[in-house]
Amino acid sequence: MLEVCAKSDLGCVRGNNEDYCQVEAELGLYVLADGMGGAKAGERASRLAVETVVEMVRSAASRDGLALLRAVEEANQRVLEAGRSDSSLEGMGTTLVAALEDEGGLDIASVGDSRAYTLDASGLHPITDDQTWVNEVGRPLGLDEATLRNHPMRHVLTMAIGANGPLTVNCYTVALESGSLVLMSSDGLHGVVDAGQLQQILEAGRNGAKLEEVCSQLIEAAKAAGGPDNVTVILLRKAA
């Protein structure tokens, strides 16, 4: 079992929170989504996706990486069907990152640009790869980071739950060292707080600080940087 804390905040600009997260400690399951769409469609998409993943993992014959993958695929189908059945929800979608405890480590599935990182004695390391134009097109073209930060395509996702077309789910297996941390976040955090500052804040958690305090510090750092989006954080810590 891992120690866990989750927090979500509106940020400084948005009037509603389209992020949604759920912690199911008895399942060893942790899920975070960042919705998109007009009116309240983004809120509907993120909540539906997260709740579907939880439901599917809970009812699975075995709780492993394959069960997690199938749960994410079912979440995609349900968000698609909801958008098709209600014109007010047309075009809704969501990113999603989910982690499931498995034999001393984690199975992780991700769609879009919500992320997971691990922090251990060697530093902060990204686990997930963003499914974005910047990551999959801009960088392979050789565009430098300064150009990418201001590029008109910088916010474009290449994959999302509920988007039309075949779904690609990125899957990972991560072994966890004693005392290591895992950060799961929406881009309201990692999109505005750089990796160096993230690591600095997270180091306190690796050194024994209360996870609730570390979560709050991460959210406050995003808000101090302008808080242009909703901010959601899940922190996991493996006992030393």
User: What is the domain range of residue 182?
Assistant: 3-237
What are 98-120's pLDDT values in tens digits? 999 998 799 999 999 999 999 99
Q: Which residue has the tokens 């007010």?
A: 88
Indicate which CATH number applies to the domain containing 133: 3.60.40.10
Residue 137 pLDDT level (bands cut at 50, 70, 90): confident
Helix axes 195-206, 211-224, angle to 10 degrees: 160
Q: What is the number of domains present in the chain?
A: 1
What are 17-43's pLDDT values in tens digits? 999 999 999 999 999 999 998 768 999
Report, in angstroms and rounded to the nearest whole number, the Rg of the chain calculated over CA atoms.
17
What are 39-88's pLDDT values in tens digits? 689 999 999 999 999 999 999 999 999 999 999 999 999 999 999 998 88
The mean pLDDT of the chain is: 94
- Residue 22: what pLDDT? 98
Q: If DSSP codes are grouped into helix, strand and coil, which group holds residue 39? A: coil
- Tell me which of 240 and 129 has the higher pLDDT: 129
Q: Count Cβ atoms below 10 Å from residue 81 Cβ, excluding itself.
A: 12
109-133: average pLDDT: 96
| 119, β-bridge pairs | 124, 181
Q: Find the range with the poorest average confidence among 1-10, 129-138, 209-218.
A: 129-138
Beta strands per DSSP E along the chain: 3-9, 19-24, 29-36, 93-102, 105-111, 115-120, 123-126, 170-175, 181-185, 231-237
Residue 143 pLDDT level (bands cut at 50, 70, 90): confident
- CA dist 67 and 73 (Å) reads 10
